[in-house]
Structure 1
Amino acid sequence: MLLVSMILLGAVIGFVGAGGAGVTITLLTVGFGVPIHTALAVALASMTFTMISGAYSHFREHEVVVRTGAVIGAGGIIGALLGEAVSNRMPSNDLSFMTGLMILSSALILYIKLYHADWLNNHLPVRQTLLTGKKLYLYGIPTGIVSGFLAGAFGIGAAAYIQIALMVIFGVPLLQSIGTCMMIIFPISASGGLGYLASGHLDLWIFLQTLAGLTSGAWIGAKMTHLAPLSVLKASIVALPTIGGGIMLLFH
């Protein structure tokens, strides 16, 4: 049942292209009674493999700003390990509640990006030139540490936060922000997953079923994206993490 459920969830994630980690955690904890720490470990470890393929694909299309991604990703490794250490010391109920809040906050950011882009641009003007030199390291490493901490502590990819930071602070164009974000999340999820593995929270059998189900399901779902009306797609992108976060808070 876990494998079948992950295939179905993977199809939905592949269709909307966002919010996968949070809903995966919700399904594991609420649907199958997996302990929250194990669910976070599985979600992070699964993201490691999905980000590899995504980042490589964007890299081949010249849609990754490598230096920016490397600097933020390096800070992300530190943050993910710190987040994992904090998460391991949090009671399960508190961790579930915080994870639910984080998932809902991601849904809110996605809603603003999709439905109130003009308001967002007026309040967060996008940098027009690529940030380089010392400022790249001065801003990049702390940004990575914060993003990595959120991912390591609460199991989410923090993609919504990272993409906005890339455009507003680092001057990465929208198209390249997607690929660069994937490059950043890869070391974050890998280091966080390894941290959970070292602490004994990563269940390999659950992880293998989750990864196989999400990967195969996402391949199917991605082929349906271009068939859906834009209004349906936008609503689904926001609805997925909203439902996942709401269920997590309701049943935490």
Structure 2
Amino acid sequence: MSEIIILFLGAISAGLLGSLTGLGGGVIIIPLLTLGFGVPMHYAIGASLISVIGTSSGAAVAFVKEGFTNMRIGMFLEIATTAGAIIGALVSGMLNPNTIGIIFASILLLTVVLNLKGKPDHQEPLIKGSLEEKLKLYGTFPDKGVLKSYSARNTVPGFLMMMFAGAMSGLLGIGSGALKVLAMDNMMKLPFKVSTTTSNFMIGVTAVASALIYFQRGEIIPVIVAPVLIGVVVGSFIGSKTLMVSKTKKLKVFFAIVITILSIYMMYNGINKSFR
């Protein structure tokens, strides 16, 4: 019983840190479960995926109502992320936990770098006769009381990048939000508010696809999932409120250092074959 309470409190911390950094609770949950509680890697990934589904759902509904999320672009790119997530989940079952730990640490370091970089804010016009026009990958979003128009660019490279993001989500049990925003911001030139909200809408759907495979393999354990899910949701809520009154840049730098240390420790344990 005491271990479940400690796990619950740890999950609250994970949700809080994930919310404040914008990286999501999954990047903290995996190290917490594997390094802190000795949970087998695949069980930790299964629990993390369920927490990703829970935390993304509430915010996604709010963003859709506000008019920022582009449902059509999201559902189109979901083809790529879902396919990638299924592939990632299947590959995960074939890999040694230590190999997954090393990959996790590498992707986590990349995610921290991407999160600290300045975010571009594009607003590209629609090009007549383009692939984007044929697929209707354009829309409007509210900005200071005015509806602004935009269109996607570089759809094929963006689609492939989203497949990679989905694969990392399925393989590692994280939302891969930073990779998805990278694809939509830097490659597809979408406005920042549109890319972040659309990414959040997609994260939960992507996680469901891979979570089903982990469930089928018996790697989603209720006694682990329940405190993790509730704790991460509570922590994310606290984090969202804290974010409104905090200096976000300093917070992101501080927590990026914490997450970098975690990723190095994950890498060390993976190399020394400490995971199970």
Q: Bin the TM-score by the shorter chain.
A: 0.7 to 0.9
How many residues are paired up? 243
- SS of 1:34's partner is coil
Higher relative contact order (CA 8 A, sep 6+): 1
**Counterpart among 184, 189, 193 of residue 175 in structure 1:** 193
| Structure-2 change in CA distance of 1:244 and 1:54 (3 Å) | farther
**Counterpart among 24, 29, 36 of residue 31 in structure 1:** 36
| Structure-2 change in CA distance of 1:237 and 1:55 (3 Å) | farther
| Structure-2 change in CA distance of 1:72 and 1:240 (3 Å) | farther
Displacement of 1:135 in angstroms is 9.3
* Alpha-carbon displacement from aligned partner over 1:135-187 (angstroms, at most 9, x marks no partner): 96745643432221111112222111111211233332111111100122121
What TM-score do the two structures reach when normalised by structure 1?
Answer: 0.87
* Alpha-carbon displacement from aligned partner over 1:82-137 (angstroms, at most 9, x marks no partner): 11110100011111111111111111111223xxx6xxx6xxx9572364425967
CA distance in 2, matches of 1:141, 1:221: 31
Residue number in structure 2 paired with 1:86: 91
Q: How does 1:4-23 map to 2 (within 5 A)?
A: 4-23=9-28
Q: Does 1:228 align with 2:246?
A: yes
Contact 1:97/1:248 (8 A) holds in 2: yes
Q: How does 1:112-123 map to 2 (within 5 A)?
A: 112-113=117-118
**How much identity, in percent, do the aligned residues show?**
25
CA distance in 1, matches of 2:136, 2:160: 11
Q: Does 1:251 align with 2:247?
A: no
CA distance in 2, matches of 1:185, 1:68: 14
CA distance in 2, matches of 1:176, 1:66: 10
Contact 1:21/1:156 (8 A) holds in 2: yes
* Alpha-carbon displacement from aligned partner over 1:213-239 (angstroms, at most 9, x marks no partner): 111122222221122224422313523
Displacement of 1:19 in angstroms is 4.2
User: Which stretch of structure 1 is more off in the superposition, 13-22 or 218-227?
Assistant: 13-22
Contact 2:54/2:233 (8 A) holds in 1: no
Residue number in structure 2 paired with 1:59: 64
CA distance in 1, matches of 2:32, 2:192: 31
Residue number in structure 2 paired with 1:166: 184
In terms of fraction of residues, the more helix-rich structure is 1
AA in 2 matched with 1:83: G
* Alpha-carbon displacement from aligned partner over 1:17-74 (angstroms, at most 9, x marks no partner): 3242111101010000011111111111211121111111110110101111001112
Residue number in structure 2 paired with 1:192: 210
Q: Does 1:3 align with 2:8?
A: yes
RMSD: 2.2
**Counterpart among 259, 263, 271 of residue 241 in structure 1:** 259
CA distance in 2, matches of 1:157, 1:8: 17
CA distance in 2, matches of 1:59, 1:135: 18
CA distance in 2, matches of 1:79, 1:218: 26
User: Which stretch of structure 1 is more off in the superposition, 177-186 or 126-135?
Assistant: 126-135
CA distance in 2, matches of 1:179, 1:9: 21
Higher-Rg structure is 2
Contact 2:55/2:236 (8 A) holds in 1: no
Residue number in structure 2 paired with 1:128: 124
Contact 2:56/2:203 (8 A) holds in 1: yes
Residue number in structure 1 paired with 2:228: 210
Residue number in structure 2 paired with 1:150: 168
Q: Which runs of 5+ in 2 are unaligned?
A: 1-5, 127-131, 138-154, 271-276
In terms of fraction of residues, the more strand-rich structure is 2
